[in-house]
Structure 1
Amino acid sequence: MITLIKTNPNNKDFIKLVKDLDTYLALKDGDEHDFYDQFNKSEGINHVIMAYENGFPAGCGAIKTYDKKTMEVKRMYTIPEYRGKGIASKILKALELWASELSFHRCILETGKRQTEAVALYHKTGYKTIPNYAPYEGIDNSICFEKILILEEL
């Protein structure tokens, strides 16, 4: 059974999964890892979703304010042995709901083109590709996405 909880970046399970994520990304990003790593810190992150399967921390994700209408999805990760169970989709949906509850209109995110599973997840969950936003402008390996959460009133 999958249980989702709202928490913060000080959650010990989140800290552990983020370390695992950083190790995974160092392998995937290769020589580009130092560039990406500078944008993958917990500063500014106040909203974390943890996914537990039968009490075991299986995945995580977070949102942080990008601008007054936009939250940026950060630190999405599912432990490899828990992949394929829909955990990442559930985390993403919970993050979007939380952003909506906080009156944000859209979510944006960046991932690497080599993270093919992540790219597929974002397409599957209704995210549309957009031009790379700062600080990823001009970075060939980056692909950026957005999803509109609340339509602005006219």
Structure 2
Amino acid sequence: MYSITSESAAHPDIVSLIAALDAYQSELYPAESNHLLDLTQLSTDSLIMMVIRDRQLNAVGCGAIVLNGDGTGEMKRVYIDPTHRGQQLGEKLLAALEDEALSRGCHTLRLETGIKQHAAVRLYENHGYGLREAFAPYVADPLSLFMEKALVADVRLAVL
């Protein structure tokens, strides 16, 4: 059994998971194609940070959304420890992050991921994210894919 809860980006368990993610991505991509945002530098008002814990309360996954204040957010730092993959934890984490984003007024989520992360791309596609052009602060990169998902059917309803 696993639990998904909100957590501080500075929590040592989160820092450890993100370090593992950074090491993994550094093996796949050159530095200029790694967009490694330090989430500990963001205010809690603009950040949703969640952790997945197993029965022994070990942190086995994490993910974040950076809220932009305009109804959009960016999915960041989604990672599941390799020994816990294949259990639909990514799907559950995305659902929890999206629910929290929606409750905080976010109507559209965007993300950047690498072309070599096939499982991540499949996860996002299966969860309703579609390809789009690069969005600020990114520029087009042949090693990056940019994706987006509307969390509400009609964005106008989200701002009423």
Match of 2:89 in 1: 87
| Shift >6 Å, 4+ stretches | none
How many residue pairs get aligned? The number is 151
Deviations 1:1-30 (A, max 9, x none): 01011112122211110000000010011x
Which whole-Å CA distance do the structure 2 matches of 1:95 and 1:60 have between them? 10
User: Is 2:25 aligned against 1:25?
Assistant: yes
CA offsets per residue over residues 126-148 of structure 1, 9 Å max, x none?
A: 11111111233221111011111
Greater strand percent: which structure?
1
* Aligned-partner Cα distance in 2 for 1:67–1:102: 10
What SS class does the counterpart of residue 68 from structure 2 fall into? Answer: strand
User: TM-score under structure 2 normalisation?
Assistant: 0.88
Q: Which runs of 5+ in 2 are unaligned?
A: none
Distance, in Å, in 2 between the alignment partners of 1:125 and 1:35 is: 24
1:49-90 superposed Cα distances (whole Å, 9 cap, x missing partner): 100111221100001123511010000000001111111111
How far off is 1:47 after superposition? 1.6
Q: Alignment RMSD, CA only?
A: 1.5
- The match for 1:134 is 136
| 8 Å contact from structure 1 (residues 106, 147) kept in 2 | yes
Structure 1: which 5+ runs fail to align? Answer: none
Tell me which residue corresponds to 1:62: 64
Aligned ranges 1:1-154 → 2 under 5 Å = 1-29=1-29, 32-37=30-35, 39-42=36-39, 43-44=41-42, 46-54=47-55, 55-150=57-152, 151-153=154-156
Give the CA deviation at 1:96.
0.4
The one-character-per-residue Cα deviations of 1:105-146 (angstroms, maximum 9, x if unpaired) are: 111110000111110100011111111112332211110111
* Contact preservation (8 Å) 1:106, 1:148: yes
| TM-score (normalizing by structure 1) | 0.91
1:22-44 Cα shifts (integer Å, max 9, x gaps): 00010011xx224424x422133
Contact residue 136 and residue 142 of structure 1 kept, 8 A? no
- Amino-acid identity (%): 30
C-alpha separation between the residues in 1 aligned to 2:118 and 2:126? 12
Q: Aligned AA for 2:10?
A: N
